Amino acid sequence: LFSILNMIKFLKKIVFYLVLLIFILELIIRAFRLTPDIPQRTISSNGIQKYKTNQTGYFNSKSKEKWLINEFGWAGVAQTQTDTIFSIIGDSFIENFHNPLSCHQGSYLKALLPQYSFFEAGRAGMSFIENLEVTNHLDSLIAPKKHFIYLNSGDFSESILEIKVHTDRAQFSVKSNKIIKGKLKAPGLKKILYNIKVFHYLYLNYPQDVQPSEDTKVNDGLSNLEETSNELYLNKLFDFCVNNYEFDKIILVIHPETDKLFIELCKKYNFKIIELNSLDYQSWQFDNDSHWNCIGHKSASTQVYNWIKSYSIN
């Protein structure tokens, strides 16, 4: 009996010191921002997946400014003050947690065109078809004059269910000729993981022999896929898009180094496109991340500005 009581005391001490250690580590990780703050997602009644409103946090330890999820459920610029509103839609490049608000497309374009409003709707992982679904959502919400959708190779291929299934985003099924809405992946588990920083830190730093997550992959392309069947799938996707979305209002802003296959398909279907150009695309990107830095965002916004200016004159 005596030994059992001692064992219980010993276990209680272990639990106490373990909890104390976790508490101290939690304080250190939060103080030095050793893990990114990641906002919680939600799905609206029309199936659009965005973020819970009014969240805020730091992207990493180097961030000097917090990201903010606005009252519409998007990160970044949400101007609606003027009669003419242009929407800016895309994946993590437009969500743009990597940079301060002053380095967003909407901020740069507003500085160049103060007479217009710019509304950003970005979320990591959004596919081409999901971006188009967002245009319908924004048409009923804020009625933009034009939609600018920013795209790279992966955004097109990830739109098609038969090429690769991505359950956390909207995709087009060639077989059923329908949109399959995205689902939240383990929201309860993610809430615990992202809010208890010790767990998140261990998760991020534990060696894992896995592929990059679906939310962080960029410029994925179709290099490992059967090109003939992919072109068939892509043509069916574009046929569906032409018949179901208002492309008179949509301009596709194509990243530099996007696969020419996608650009040619856009031209074939008479989509309005802006092909972004860069003499040194590496200078647009972070050293250890292919997302755009402030140089990249400013260069891209200048080219979009030139298109808007030309469009307005004409």
What does the alpha-carbon distance between residue 138 and residue 130 come to, in Å, rounded to a whole number?
12
Paired tokens of 216: 């962080």
Rg (CA), the chain: 22
pLDDT of residue 72: 94
The first and second tokens of residue 58, run together, are: 């730091």
| CB-CB neighbours of 259 under 10 Å | 19
Please give the residue that has the higher pLDDT: either 187 or 248.
248
Residues 6+ apart with CB under 8 A from 188: none
Distance from C-alpha of 226 to C-alpha of 260, rounded to nearest angstrom: 16
pLDDT at 214 over 80: no
Q: What is the pLDDT of residues 156-196, one digit of tens each?
A: 999 999 999 999 999 999 999 999 999 998 888 898 999 99
Residues 22-57: pLDDT tens digits?
999 999 999 999 999 999 999 988 889 999 998 999
- Write out pLDDT tens, residues 99-140: 999 999 999 999 999 999 999 999 999 999 999 999 999 999
- pLDDT for 237 equals 96
Lowest mean pLDDT among 40-49, 169-178, 216-225, 265-274: 216-225
- Mean pLDDT (the chain) is 90
Distance between alpha carbon 96 and the CA centroid of its chain, in Å? Answer: 8
Residue 127 CA to residue 125 CA, distance in Å, equals 6
